[in-house]
Amino acid sequence: MAARQYVARRIAQAILVVALVYIIVFFTLFVLPGDPIENKLTSPLNPLPPASAEALLAYYQLDKSPIEQFAITVGRLFSGDLGYSLVSGRPVSELIAQGVSDTIVLAAMAFVFTLALSLAIALTTVFAPWAALRNAAASLPIISISTPSFLIGFLLLTIFSFQLGWVSSIRDQGLVSYILPAATLAIAVNGVLSEVLIQGLRRARAEPFVTVLRAKGTGEGTIAIRHILRNGAIPSITVLALVVGELLAGAVVVETVFSRRGLGFVTYESVRDQDTPVILIVVILVSTVYVVINLITDLLYPTLDPRILRHGAKPGGAPAARPTRRQKVTA
Amino acid sequence: MTLFAPDFPAPLVVDNLSIGYRRRRRGPIEDVVRDVSFTVPHGSTVSLVGQSGSGKSTIARAVAGLLPHNGDLTAGSVKVVGRDVTRYSASEWRPLRGSSVGFVPQDPLSSLDPLQRIGVQIAGALNQASIPRSEIPARVIRLLEHVGIRDARARSRAFPHELSGGQLQRVLIAIAIAADPALLIADEPTSALDVTVQKRILDLLDGLREELGLGVLFITHDLALAQERSDEIVVLKDGVVREQGPADVVLVSPRDPYTITLLSDAPAASPDRYRDRVRQPGASAREIVSVTNVTKTFGGRAKADVATRALDDVSLTVAEGSIHALVGESGSGKTTLARIVAGLTGFDTGTAVVKGRELPGHETYANPFARTLQLVYQNPLSAVDPRYSVRRIIEEPLRIHGIGNAASRRARVGDVLDQVALPSTVLGRTAREISGGQRQRVALARTLVLAPDVLVLDEPTSALDVTVQAQIVELLLDLREQHNLSYLFITHDLGLVRQIADTITVLRLGSVVESGSAREVFSNPQDGYTRELLDSVPRLQRRSEDAAFVSG
Amino acid sequence: MSAPILAASGSRRRSAEAGSFRAFLARLEPVDYLALAVVALVLLALLAPRILSPYDPLVGDDASILTAPSLSHWFGTDYLGRDLLSRIVHGTGRTLLGSAVAVVIGLGVGTILGLLAAYFGGLTDAIISRLVDVLLSIPGLLLSMVVVVALGFGALNAAVAVGIASIAAFTRIMRSEVLTVKGLPFVEASHHLGGKRLYVLARHIFPNSYSSVLALTGLQFGISIIWISSLSFLGYGAPPPQPEWGLLVSEGREYVVSSPWLVVLPGLVIAVTVFSISRLSRVLKEGNTP
């Protein structure tokens, strides 16, 4: 009963955050500096035909007060109308739909690469038998964080497409075409996850229970994988949402580097053209993904760590043990 | 050892063993244990006794093959059940683990994998012992029953956090004996447990030793415990054996000066050490602290069903100039009561009066009673700002209260430093840069600088070695005489209470079970729980002619 | 976004001595000396670009267009024959000053918000924490794009946008540090000795919370460099022809097949600079943990 209440509260909180994102981004983009939509639509540089511009001016009802505009936009949102691009005049939903599948595949592949890479780096850093290898692996997370994704992208492109010719930079080769951009994202984004995993593994390895396991004759491999990895990896699930968010934001740069036409490219163009209705929807989409993943990992936490269940079931309030754990990792 | 022929080799033979650590990678190995020899025969217990840094735990780890990577055996030999394991690698050790050597760790709360059910963890030990898979579940239940876990079948499905410290230590003992070892290594197995639980766990270990003919290597800092529980004792200091022999010889008539000091410093060995300084409660003495019918509930009063009652209708009084001991096990509410008296925690009903002024009953930010009553924390390191030098720490109360000018404050700090017998060289250091005993002296100096009337001492010596503890206790007694201080002394160490307390209150689960003059409570306890508590405290058997020597 | 995680690890005990410069030097590993040298070079490029740059960054040499790195042009030349090394050196100022502006905004606003949230608690904390949740739910780079759209393109606006996008990270770490320190026994002890709230806040809580925030500052400075150069790379930041690190990469894009150094070398300069700064701020942080 109490657990169900907790789940309901967490869901309500997540919805509130998405709603607040919408409100803040809407007012930042639509209202704050002058009349961006009007300026854009009436600008002589806009490629949009004058008739469409007129229609969109009428559609956005810019003569109304900001609050009224907001109400109208939200009303349309609930009826499935995401607005229209100020540059092409096409519905935002259409633009998004066009790019989203490509980016989902890219992000999914990049996510898998990120997990694999982080795991490899963390396990090497903590368990590799040679100190030199451990130290080398330990410096990879900072390198990952310090290297801009466009550099990684161009390096991979230069080496594997231009020099070695393994992957075409122009032809669409299905899934193969995703490998380089996905690898670029994974290399650029894994730093945080690797770092949290390394810290988790180091902490778990120092726990007294490892001595007891050793003393009862458990093999080192079993200790490392079944016990240290399981205990040490739990905190890192709290950064998964962050990783996915960074992957989606990174797609803006990476799709530009690799000339792909996904959601990232749509974002790039809409920012370039100050096409605010498109930007608004992209941001909401990305932040919803972040919030949902965060919600899922939060609700999943108790099933992974039995110590949390007790607190999660406590009536009236967030679990006592969880905030401290999360603080350790993310705060 | 003579009972067993060579085909029954002793569980453990340690011969001229030296152990060293590499402090830096590729640095030289520095010996921390030198030239230690002893034998653990079947069915008997050998205790390694010493203060922190004596090398006792290092020896335990080394003979169990559990030294960290930077540690190594540098000389001598270790034989486990006749096998020379001195140069064993990790893979050579593995078949011995469980089946030859069982290990009982110090801290039961973090010694089991929190993500695995305890049954699975015991089964893990059985797996190593090549017991048929089909028999394992039944063996797990039998083991749990063997170590005295009730409702074993249900308990085997529990996660470690669902068990108490005592139960966890039983589970760890079950793991240690699962594969029928000949040798059990117990590294301070009860130092994290309450005294009544400690007694039950040690009784269990003793029973198993007799029943299974185990050799037990017992590591402890508690001399009384060592004497009570072992056949032979090895006294260590700085990695060197100072004295060894049968328990009732070494501790009854010690020859080494270090053993003699240790014994005289151990409260259990010299209950009358401060006899002439203990004051009998006189009828005339004024009450300086009085707590009347105080009740404290955590978790809010609105939801009475989920709230836990920390203190239930508790009363106590501290007479001026006396030491009142507040005694109880974990969960007794003694720390809550101490914090209430110190004004750090509010309470629901009742009254608390300190030197004629009633406490507000709710938490306040700046303590209005600072110059009357001060709390001395259990861990002085965490109770002082890590960025502050000792001078600033001691001077801070004067600054807060705007007392004196820079020069007079400096002089006052110097005075107080003398009173707690600290050299002025510590003034420029931070708390991390001085020793544990010095830190507690600094903490005392900080409270004394305001010249309070009452000190609430929350386990002020529990983190210290006995010798340092004895020095702090001595200092506390001196300070009381010089400044007519009154102490509310919170502790779980009944030996210490017996030495210094004038009056005593025994708490259990938030209620007072007994109170009165310390002498009466100790000689003639009225309550069943008090009796159990006193029975659980290990005692040192001394020859009567030595008693005079110790208290003199 | 990643910096708070990296800055938060480790405990908070620290001694006065550990903070000294000599102690800092003693902790340096060989890599860190390289990092120190890189930071020194970057500072020199920032303060006196002319010393390091052999050519005029804006004037090209028609005789050497798109030449590969050589002795006369260490980093090669671009499509107008301009010396790439000189352009990188002269671009240092824009990139680094931009990051400085961003960090000052993030640090200033974030520290105050975090302190307010932790100090007042209750409704103030709830509002600020919710705001932080909202800001954190938008990846930093994307958030700075939103702000840059609202403010308009340009070097300064990109810097401000990155600063706004990093407020949440600073708020969060400040809040949690203050809350942690507030719960430590020595803070209670100071109250117990008679210390009033403001006294304890100023003398104990704030000084003990701040060094984690400073560690984050170093890391966030590096991340700001990456975000700002990403924004310029996408064309939202500093306009050409003035050099800026991200912009140089973007300008080199069209020649990436024939002249990869135009993209790779400025990119590497960014990476090496950020790596050095992160490395050093980590050494600083480790000095604050025993």
A37-44, long-range: CB < 8 A, 24+ apart: A37/A62, A37/A86, A37/A276, A37/A277, A38/A62, A40/A86, A40/A87, A40/A274, A40/A275, A40/A276, A41/A86
**Interval A271-298 mean pLDDT:** 93
Q: Mind listing the pLDDT tens digit for each residue in C236-252? A: 988 888 888 999 999 88
Of B170, B172, B176, B188, which is closest to residue B48 (Cα–Cα)? Answer: B188
Would the CB atoms of A215 and B176 count as touching at under 8 Å?
yes
Q: Is the pLDDT of residue B302 over 60?
A: no
* Cβ contacts of A316 on chain B, cutoff 8 Å: 303
Q: For residue A59, what pLDDT is reported?
A: 85
User: pLDDT band at residue C99, thresholds of 50, 70 and 90?
Assistant: very high
- Plot region of A218 (φ>0 → left; ψ -120 to 50 → alpha; else → beta): beta
Please classify residue B300 by burial: count the beta carbons closer than 10 Å to its beta carbon, then call 0-12 exposed, 13-18 middle and 19+ buried: exposed
Integer Cα distance of A177 and A113 in angstroms:
15
Q: Is the pLDDT of residue B5 over 80?
A: no
Q: B310: which DSSP letter?
A: E
Please classify residue A316 by burial: count the beta carbons closer than 10 Å to its beta carbon, then call 0-12 exposed, 13-18 middle and 19+ buried: exposed
Best to test chain B binding among C12, C119, C192, C212 (most B CBs inside 10 Å):
C192
* Cβ contacts of C172 on chain A, cutoff 8 Å: 330-331
More confidently predicted of B205 and A162: B205
Q: For residue B282, what pLDDT is reported?
A: 63
Taking a contact as any Cβ pair under 8 Å apart, which residues of chain C between 234 and 263 contact chain A? 234-236, 246, 249, 253, 256-257, 260, 263
State the pairing for strand pair B511-517/B503-508: antiparallel
Largest CA distance in chain C: 78
Q: For residue C17, what pLDDT is reported?
A: 43
Tokens representing A22 are: 């919408």
Q: Mind listing the pLDDT tens digit for each residue in B179-228? A: 889 999 999 999 888 989 999 999 999 999 999 999 999 999 988 899 88
Q: How far is CA A214 from CA A232, B97, C273, in A?
A: 17, 8, 44
Tokens representing C26 are: 């003693």
Q: For residue A32, what pLDDT is reported?
A: 60
Q: For residue A312, what pLDDT is reported?
A: 42
The residue count of chain A comes to: 331
Q: Is the pLDDT of residue B301 over 80?
A: no
Strand-pair partners of B318: B289
Q: Mind listing the pLDDT tens digit for each residue in B484-535? A: 999 999 998 888 999 999 999 999 999 999 999 998 999 999 999 999 999 8
Integer Cα distance of C244 and C236 in angstroms:
12
- For residue A160, what is the nearest residue in chain C, using CA coordinates? C257
DSSP annotation string for A289-324: HHHHHHHHHHHHHHHH-HHHHHHHTSSSSS-SHHHH
| Range from A111-115, B141-145, B500-504, B547-551 carrying the lowest mean pLDDT | B547-551
User: pLDDT band at residue C5, thresholds of 50, 70 and 90?
Assistant: very low
| Range from A251-255, B225-229, B268-272, C136-140 carrying the lowest mean pLDDT | B268-272
Strand-pair partners of B233: B47, B245
User: pLDDT band at residue A86, thresholds of 50, 70 and 90?
Assistant: confident
Task: Give the other-Cβ count within 10 Å of A238's Cβ.
Answer: 20
Q: Is the Cβ–Cβ distance between C276 and C284 less than 8 Å?
A: no
Q: For residue B182, what pLDDT is reported?
A: 93
Q: For residue B275, what pLDDT is reported?
A: 79
C117 and chain A: CB distance < 8 Å anywhere?
Answer: no
Q: Percent of chain A at pLDDT above 70?
A: 91
Q: Mind listing the pLDDT tens digit for each residue in C148-202? A: 998 889 999 999 999 999 999 999 999 999 999 999 999 999 999 999 988 999 9
Chains that touch C (3 or more CB pairs under 8 A): A, B
Of C217, C243, C245, C216, which is closest to residue C231 (Cα–Cα)? Answer: C245
The CA distance from C59 to the nearest CA of chain A, in Å, is 26
Mean pLDDT score across all residues of chain B: 88
Q: How far is CA B480 from CA B233, B327, C189, in A?
A: 37, 20, 22
User: pLDDT band at residue A29, thresholds of 50, 70 and 90?
Assistant: confident
User: pLDDT band at residue C15, thresholds of 50, 70 and 90?
Assistant: very low
Best to test chain B binding among A212, A230, A314 (most B CBs inside 10 Å):
A212
Of B462, B460, B463, B459, which is closest to residue B442 (Cα–Cα)? Answer: B460
Q: For residue A320, what pLDDT is reported?
A: 32
Q: How far is CA A84 from CA A58, A264, A275, B206, in A?
A: 12, 18, 9, 82
B339 and chain C: CB distance < 8 Å anywhere?
Answer: no
Integer Cα distance of B316 and C147 in angstroms:
64
Strand-pair partners of B38: B14
Q: Is the pLDDT of residue B548 over 70?
A: no
Would the CB atoms of B98 and A216 count as touching at under 8 Å?
yes
Would the CB atoms of A212 and B112 count as touching at under 8 Å?
yes
Would the CB atoms of A143 and C173 count as touching at under 8 Å?
no
Would the CB atoms of C180 and A24 count as touching at under 8 Å?
no
User: pLDDT band at residue A161, thresholds of 50, 70 and 90?
Assistant: confident
Would the CB atoms of A147 and C4 count as touching at under 8 Å?
no
Radius of gyration of chain C, Cα coordinates, nearest whole angstrom: 22
Chains that touch B (3 or more CB pairs under 8 A): A, C
* Cβ contacts of B385 on chain C, cutoff 8 Å: 186, 190, 203-204, 208
Q: C77: which DSSP letter?
A: B
Q: For residue B284, what pLDDT is reported?
A: 60
Integer Cα distance of B48 and A125 in angstroms:
37
Mean pLDDT score across all residues of chain C: 85
Of C165, C283, C272, which is closest to residue C214 (Cα–Cα)? Answer: C283
Identify which of C133, C146, C233 has the shortest CB distance to residue A17. C133
Integer Cα distance of B510 and B513 in angstroms:
9
A131 and chain B: CB distance < 8 Å anywhere?
Answer: yes
Would the CB atoms of C279 and A142 count as touching at under 8 Å?
yes
Identify which of A16, A146, A248 has the shortest CB distance to residue C222. A146
Would the CB atoms of A215 and B97 count as touching at under 8 Å?
yes
User: pLDDT band at residue A316, thresholds of 50, 70 and 90?
Assistant: very low
| Range from A302-316, B241-255, B363-377, C130-144 carrying the lowest mean pLDDT | A302-316
Would the CB atoms of A290 and C279 count as touching at under 8 Å?
no
Q: How far is CA B177 from CA B100, B135, B136, B147, B216, in A?
A: 9, 16, 14, 10, 12
Q: Is the pLDDT of residue B33 over 70?
A: yes
Would the CB atoms of A215 and B103 count as touching at under 8 Å?
yes
User: pLDDT band at residue A222, thresholds of 50, 70 and 90?
Assistant: very high
Chains that touch A (3 or more CB pairs under 8 A): B, C
Q: For residue A33, what pLDDT is reported?
A: 57
Q: Percent of chain B at pLDDT above 70?
A: 94
| Range from A109-113, B49-53, C49-53 carrying the lowest mean pLDDT | C49-53
Integer Cα distance of A202 and A194 in angstroms:
12
Identify which of B370, B386, B450 has the shortest CB distance to residue C13. B386
User: pLDDT band at residue B337, thresholds of 50, 70 and 90?
Assistant: very high
Q: For residue C104, what pLDDT is reported?
A: 96
**Interval A286-315 mean pLDDT:** 79
DSSP annotation string for C137-162: TS-HHHHHHHHHHHH-SSHHHHHHHH
| Range from A241-255, B5-19, B76-90 carrying the lowest mean pLDDT | B5-19
Of A275, A295, A276, which is closest to residue A287 (Cα–Cα)? Answer: A295
- For residue B68, what is the nearest residue in chain A, using CA coordinates? A211
The CA distance from A319 to the nearest CA of chain B, in Å, is 14
| Range from A12-21, A177-186, B88-97 carrying the lowest mean pLDDT | B88-97
Q: How far is CA B179 from CA A234, B93, B99, B170, B175, in A?
A: 32, 15, 5, 15, 8
Q: What is the dihedral of CA C33, C39, C43, C48, to 10 degrees?
A: 70
Integer Cα distance of B52 and B469 in angstroms:
13
Integer Cα distance of B398 and B381 in angstroms:
20
**Interval B309-325 mean pLDDT:** 91
Integer Cα distance of A172 and A185 in angstroms:
19
Q: For residue B299, what pLDDT is reported?
A: 67
Distance from chain centroid for Cα A182? 13
- For residue C205, what is the nearest residue in chain B, using CA coordinates? B385
CB pairs under 8 A between B and C: 78
Radius of gyration of chain B, Cα coordinates, nearest whole angstrom: 26
Q: Percent of chain C at pLDDT above 90?
A: 48
User: pLDDT band at residue C10, thresholds of 50, 70 and 90?
Assistant: very low
Q: Is the pLDDT of residue A319 over 70?
A: no
B374 and chain C: CB distance < 8 Å anywhere?
Answer: yes
The CA distance from B179 to the nearest CA of chain A, in Å, is 9
User: pLDDT band at residue C105, thresholds of 50, 70 and 90?
Assistant: very high
Identify which of B371, B383, B389 has the shortest CB distance to residue C189. B383
More confidently predicted of B35 and B127: B35
Integer Cα distance of C6 and C212 in angstroms:
10
Q: Is the Cβ–Cβ distance between B271 and B499 less than 8 Å?
A: yes
Q: For residue B300, what pLDDT is reported?
A: 53
pTM equals 0.87
* Cβ contacts of A305 on chain B, cutoff 8 Å: 114-115
A148 and chain C: CB distance < 8 Å anywhere?
Answer: yes
* Cβ contacts of C203 on chain B, cutoff 8 Å: 385
Q: Is the pLDDT of residue B354 over 50?
A: yes
**Interval B437-461 mean pLDDT:** 93
Locate the DSSP E strands across chain A: none
**Interval B11-27 mean pLDDT:** 89
CB pairs under 8 A between A and C: 179
**Interval B128-139 mean pLDDT:** 85
Would the CB atoms of B105 and A208 count as touching at under 8 Å?
yes
Q: Is the peptide bond before C241 cis (omega within 30 degrees of 0)?
A: yes
B402 and chain C: CB distance < 8 Å anywhere?
Answer: no
User: pLDDT band at residue A315, thresholds of 50, 70 and 90?
Assistant: very low
- For residue A303, what is the nearest residue in chain B, using CA coordinates? B115
